[in-house]
Structure 1
Amino acid sequence: MVDALQMFNARMTSYSNVRFNFIGTGIKAFLIFFIYPILTLLTAYTTVPFLSRANQKFIINNYRLGTAEFHFDSSVGPFYIAFLISLAWIVVVGGLSITITGFNFLEFAHAMENLEHDPTGAMSLIGMFYLLFFVALMPAAMIYFAMIRNIVFNATTLTGGHRFNSTVSPGMLLWLALSNFVVVLCTVGLMIPWAQVRMSKYLAENTALIPAGSLDDFIGTQQSETSAFGDAFTDLESIDVGLPI
């Protein structure tokens, strides 16, 4: 399912009339997206960085632009740095927040079970829970996402030596997520498209391609190679249609 979705999205996307492609296999996708998460659970999530790197490596290394290959190569060290920084935020900020507010997870669970009998007390605990979420968990998630995105883009290359760069800031990403959430909430969901465009615009503005040479020559090569492959395949199958590659 995952590899089929990636393949569909890739083949429906093109750059200068050169289509993307995805060649990942179902067996490998099953291992990475179903078996590996189970193994990560068995290690009490201490191997999340290995899982993140495996996911990114599988997806990126199986993408193609015409016949050009994407290649991701990074050690697990930077992934662990992002993981530990995010975890440190949760422990330090979350711990301080729990100490200051006196929040108790057992009391919260008990209040949720007896919501009908003590709605006032339950609502108070729910409010504190959401406060902890926005103060500790959500910033940690934005820190991890931003750092991983930068790591992945900066460690990815395309055939010909073309490189990528990402300069996403965790702080700015958190501000966009929080402000988008508030606007969407206040407009009862009507501003969801605006929020999505706003986030996509920021990510695009902080993403760059660093070419190793002429992009015109690169695209011209890919157009000729994919055209030649499509013609050869058509002749082989004796079908007079072009391939969507």
Structure 2
Amino acid sequence: MKNLFSNIRLPWLIFTLLVFIALVKLGFWQSDRAIEKETRLKNITQLSQTTAMSLTEIQNFPLKEINDYPIKLKGEFEQDILFLLDNQTNEGQLGYRVYQVFTDHNQSVLVNLGWVMGSINRAEIPDIKPIKGAFEINGHIRLMDKGILLMEQNFTEVSWPLRVQQVELDKFSTVIKKNLLPFIVYVNEEETLGYKKNWQPIVMPPEKHQAYAFQWFSLALAWLILMFWASIKFNRTCDEENPINEKANNKIKDLDV
């Protein structure tokens, strides 16, 4: 019986530790995300006080360091090239984000012009005309994070405006036969150009990540307490069963004699 109990306790201990470590790791991951968000918010506040750079100047910096930098574009929009990013919500309404290619000193960059409301009928695409002419645009840079695509985007048949599920600059470059710069310019809120500018640099604030971290750490502690209580109860049950088994064994021995 003792060997049996030992065989049960070892897997139990390993399972308990594995779950505990996983919960703690999730807690630290959320804590790290909170620190990243706090750092970015501070960086955005500092950058908002700086002078906007030109497209040529911004390319002198490493790509990974230019996120959220203010920028001033001077050039013109590419006619008839319009991308609509699908499944974008605003105050509970489903719609699209509108992107158009802008050329500044022979360099092409994708510009986010804002949000427009969509139709309940998925076959209908908003009737949006591309912006034409020369402009000076004040905005800020955003490096795009790749999301999860359930199905690869296929651009073999293109009609404008082009509805897309994710912004993929390399594929967009192939479609328009122009090399797009590896970032997007978001038009500032005070600019009259474009549509509803409801973009938020931080979707989930640091405080929420901290709350999630507290939850994961609490779950880790609760898990240890639960397993400790279950272990004590299991040991007591085993102790109660052992005397009965010993008495049964003794009776068998007496009968053999």
The alignment's TM-score, normalised by the length of structure 2, stands at 0.22
Task: Name whichever structure is richer in strand by fraction.
Answer: 2
| TM-score for the superposition, normalised by structure 1 | 0.23
- The higher-RCO structure (CA 8 Å, 6+ apart) is 2
Q: Which has the larger radius of gyration?
A: 2
